[in-house]
A and B are shown apart, each in its own frame.
Chain A
Amino acid sequence: MAQAKTEAKPVVNRTQALVWLRQMMLIRRFEERAEMLYQKGNKIGGFFHQYSGQEPVAVGSIGVLREDDYIITAYRDHGHALARGMSARAGMSELLGKVTGCSRGKGGSMHFFDVEKGFLGGHAIVGSHVPLATGVAFALKYRGEDRVCVCYFGEGAINQGSVHEALNMAALWKLPVIYIVENNQYAMGTSLERSTAVLDLRLRGATAYGIPGITINGNDIELMAKTTREAANRARGGEGPTFIEAKTYRYKGHSISDPGKYRLREELDSAMKNDPIMVYQNVLKQRGWIDEETADKMRDEIKTEVEEAIAFAEHSEPPSLDQLYEDITVAPFIPQE
Chain B
Amino acid sequence: MPLISYREALNQAMTEEMERDDRVFIMGEEVAQYDGAYKVSQGMLKKFGARRVIDTPISEEGFAGIGIGAAMAGLRPVIEFMTFSFSLVAIDQIVNNAANMRYMSGGQFAVPIVFRGSSGMAGCLAATHSHRLEAWYAHIPGLTVMMPATPADAKGMLKSAIRSDDPVIFMEHEVLYPERGEVPAGEHLVPIGKADIKRPGSDVTLITYSRSLKTTLAAATQLADEGISAEVIDLRTIRPLDLDTLLHSIIKTHRAVIIEEDWPYCGVGAGIADRVTQRVFDELDAPIRRVATKDAPVPYNRALEDSMLPSVPRIVAAVHDVVYR
Contacts and interface: CB of A to CB of B under 8 A. Distances in A.
B81 to A, nearest CB: 14
A327 B102 contact: yes
A91 B228 CA distance: 64
23 contacts: A106-B103, A121-B101, A121-B104, A128-B65, A131-B69, A135-B69, A138-B75, A139-B73, A142-B70, A162-B92, A162-B93, A165-B63, A165-B65, A168-B59, A169-B57, A169-B59, A169-B63, A169-B66, A327-B106, A329-B142, A330-B110, A336-B241, A337-B275
Contact of B68 (A105, A135, A143, A334): A135
A101 B61 contact: no
A169 B70 contact: no
Contacts of B239: 336
A264 interface: no
Interface in B253-299: 271, 275
Given A131-B68, A139-B69, A328-B142, A101 B241 contact: no
A48 interface: no
B141 A328 contact: yes
A113 B57 CA distance: 30
B25 A166 contact: no
A199 interface: no
Contact of A172 (B57, B138, B166): B57
A328 B69 contact: no
Nearest to A334: B240
Interface in B51-99: 51, 56-57, 59, 61-75, 92-93, 96-97
A134 interface: yes
B105 A113 contact: yes
A104 interface: yes
A68 to B, nearest CB: 11
Contacts of A105: 106
A210 to B, nearest CB: 14
Contact of B75 (A102, A139, A331): A139
Contacts of B65: 128-132, 134-135, 162, 165-166
A166 B68 CA distance: 12
Nearest to A162: B61
Given A328-B141, A329-B142, A336-B239, A131 B72 contact: no
A284 B70 CA distance: 40
Contact of A132 (B97, B103, B105, B241): B97
A103 interface: yes
Q: Choose among B72, B74, B109, B144 the residue with the greatest number of A CB atoms under 10 Å from its CB.
A: B72
A114 B112 CA distance: 18
Given A125-B96, A134-B66, A169-B63, 17 more contacts: A128-B92, A131-B65, A131-B66, A132-B66, A135-B65, A135-B70, A138-B70, A138-B75, A139-B74, A328-B142, A330-B112, A331-B165, A336-B138, A336-B141, A336-B240, A336-B241, A336-B275
Contacts of B166: 329-331
Nearest to A139: B73
Contacts of A138: 66, 69-70, 75
Contact of A128 (B96, B138, B192): B96
A133 interface: yes
Interface in B117-148: 138, 141-142, 144
Contacts of B92: 125, 128, 162
A172 B104 CA distance: 31
A136 interface: yes
Given A113-B109, A331-B192, A134 B69 contact: yes
Contacts of B59: 165, 168-169
Contacts of A139: 69-70, 73-75
A135 B66 CA distance: 4
Interface string A108-138: 0001011100001101010011111111111
A329 B61 contact: no
B139 to A, nearest CB: 9
A125 B68 CA distance: 15
A139 B24 CA distance: 11
Interface in A126-172: 128-140, 142-143, 161-162, 165-166, 168-169, 172
Contact of B108 (A103, A331, A336, A337): A103
Interface string B187-203: 00000110000000000
B215 interface: no
Interface string A166-209: 10110010000000000000000000000000000000000000
B186 interface: no
Interface in B1-49: 25
A165 B109 contact: no
A328 B103 contact: yes
A106 B103 CA distance: 7
A301 interface: no
A163 B201 CA distance: 54
Nearest to B62: A165
Contact of B72 (A132, A328, A329): A132
Given A161-B61, A334-B240, A132 B102 contact: no
